[in-house]
Amino acid sequence: MVRIRAFENAAEAASQGGVSAYGKAADGTAQVRGPLHLSTGQEAVPAGVCAHLRADDYLTSTHRGHGHTLAKGADLSRMMAELFGKATGFNGGKGGSMHIADFTVGMLGANGVVAAGLPIAVGAAHAQKLQQRDAITVCFFGDGAINRGPFLESLNWAQVYGLPVLFVCEDNRWSATTASGPMTAGEGASARARSLAIPSVQVDGNDVLAVHAAAAKLVSEVRAGSGPRLLHAITYRVKGHVSVDPAAYRNPEELQAALKTDPIARARQAYAALPGADMTRLDAIEREAADEVQAALAAAAAAPWPDAAAAYTDIQTTGAGQWV
322 lies in a domain?
A: no
250 lies in a domain?
A: yes
58 lies in a domain?
A: yes
Average pLDDT of the chain to the nearest whole number: 93
pLDDT over threshold 60, residue 57: yes
Q: Which domain holds residue 237?
A: 2-304
Q: What is the pLDDT of residue 313?
A: 87
CA distances from 77 to 84, 276, 306 (A): 11, 35, 16
60 lies in a domain?
A: yes
- Average pLDDT (97-116) is 94
321 lies in a domain?
A: no
Which helix (H) or strand (E) segment holds residue 58: the answer is strand 58-60
Give the span between the Cα atoms of 28 and 54, in whole angstroms. 42
Q: What share of the chain is helix, strand, coil (3-state, %, to 5)?
A: 45, 10, 45
320 lies in a domain?
A: no
pLDDT over threshold 60, residue 191: yes
For residue 94, the domain's CATH number is 3.40.50.970
- Average pLDDT (3-31) is 77
* pLDDT tens digits, 201-240: 999 999 999 999 999 999 999 999 999 999 999 999 999 9
pLDDT over threshold 90, residue 319: no
Q: What is the pLDDT of residue 19?
A: 45
CA atoms lying within 13 Å on the CB side of residue 127: 10
* pLDDT tens digits, 255-305: 999 999 999 999 999 999 999 999 999 999 999 999 999 999 999 999 999
Q: Which of 168, 169, 167, 161 is nearest to 225 (CA)?
A: 161
**Helix (DSSP H) and strand (DSSP E) numbers for the chain:** 11, 8
Structurally, how many domains does the chain consist of?
1
pLDDT over threshold 80, residue 15: yes
70 lies in a domain?
A: yes
Q: Which of 60, 68, 58, 62 is nearest to 105 (CA)?
A: 58
311 lies in a domain?
A: no
